[in-house]
Amino acid sequence: MNAVPQYDPLSFGETALKLRTFRQQILGNNLANSDTPGFKARDIRFADVLKAQMAGSLPSMDVSMVTTHSGHIEGKVTKEDPRILYRVPNQPSKDDNTVDGDVELSEFTKNSVLTEAALGFLSGTLRGRMSAITGQAS
Amino acid sequence: MSLLATFNIGSSALTAQAMRLNTIASNIANAESVSGPDGRPYRARQVEFNAITSPNSPGAGVAVTKIIESDAPLRMEYRPGHPKANAAGYVEMPNVNPVEEMVNMISASRSYQMNIEAMNVTRQLMLKTLDLGR
């Protein structure tokens, strides 16, 4: 049997919910820019990012330069979030925009249903803890 | 809260699309305007969309950055009796293409609907989040 990693349901639920709303924002931004020339649709690979987040291995977004002399200027650049990838378009468009309204809207709706599911799990956990504390079923 | 940001993104798109609809309405209304305030025929206008980016955020919506006047050639119409007619009897008419405008309008209204839909879904999610733990 595969080893299932043991997570605290409360922190797992919180992380999942945060990522869901984060993805909701990305997809919402895709929809908003469906008519912007040259815009590229973005998305995250949810399972991979969630796994990395739970393992606590978040890639750093700051790139700093090494200074070997006191006269060097400290350079610090914030690079793009490496978790956010680009969607592969299934048909090209003349203005180089890769947003496909149908794909984005269905992903958006799917993501919102899954957000509701995450909310449900979190809600159940909270209720369970509450009844453990108070000693009566809520 | 990330969901609030989604809401703001949606509203930026609604504003932008409404502006696009406004320019289209202006173009259609002025399809026959032989002279504007400068005495020249009306020229079709188009909005320019640009994605808003902000650091530490996957995206912040869309904005209309510019309104461009079309430089397509003006339509010449033969109307010898017209006060604006030139020596050969031709009048310069606006370069508005009604077919283009109608197509543009349908596209704008579809995008508007799509963003409304996304905002409705987000609203429901926000209400559900408020009910968390009840």
Estimate the crossing angle of helix A46-54 against helix A9-32, to 10 degrees: 140
For residue B50, give the nearest of A36, A61, A123 by CB distance: A36
Q: To the nearest whole number, what is the mean pLDDT of chain A?
A: 85
Quick check: A15 contacting B, CB < 8 Å? no
Task: Check A36 against B118: CB less than 8 A apart.
Answer: no
Quick check: A34 contacting B, CB < 8 Å? yes
For residue A35, give the nearest of B49, B58, B61 by CB distance: B49
A78: confidence class by pLDDT, cuts 50, 70, 90: low
**What is the chain A residue with the closest CA to B117?**
A105
Residue A61 has what pLDDT? 60
* Interface predicted TM-score of the whole assembly (ipTM), two decimals: 0.73
> What residue spans of chain B are helical by DSSP H?
2-29, 98-130
CA distance B87 to chain A (A): 42
Q: How many CB atoms lie within 10 A of CB A74?
A: 8
As a whole number of angstroms, the distance between CA B57 and CA A32 comes to 15
Q: What is the mean pLDDT of residues A5-11?
A: 81
* Cα angle, residue B5 at apex, residues A10 and B123 outer, rounded to 5°: 75
Residue B14 has what pLDDT? 93
Q: Which of residues 44-103 of B touch A (CB under 8 A)?
A: 49-51, 55-62
Q: What share of chain B is helix, strand, coil (3-state, %, to 5)?
A: 45, 15, 35
Q: Which of A3-7, A47-51, A68-72, B28-32 has the lowest mean pLDDT?
A: A3-7
Q: What are phi and psi of B91, to 5 degrees?
A: -110, 135
pLDDT digits (tens, 9 = 90+) for B72-120: 888 888 988 888 888 898 998 999 999 999 999 999 999 999 999 999 9
B35: confidence class by pLDDT, cuts 50, 70, 90: confident
Encoded tokens for A71:
């006269």
Estimate the crossing angle of helix A101-134 against helix A9-32, to 10 degrees: 160
Residue keyed to tokens 């990838």: A85
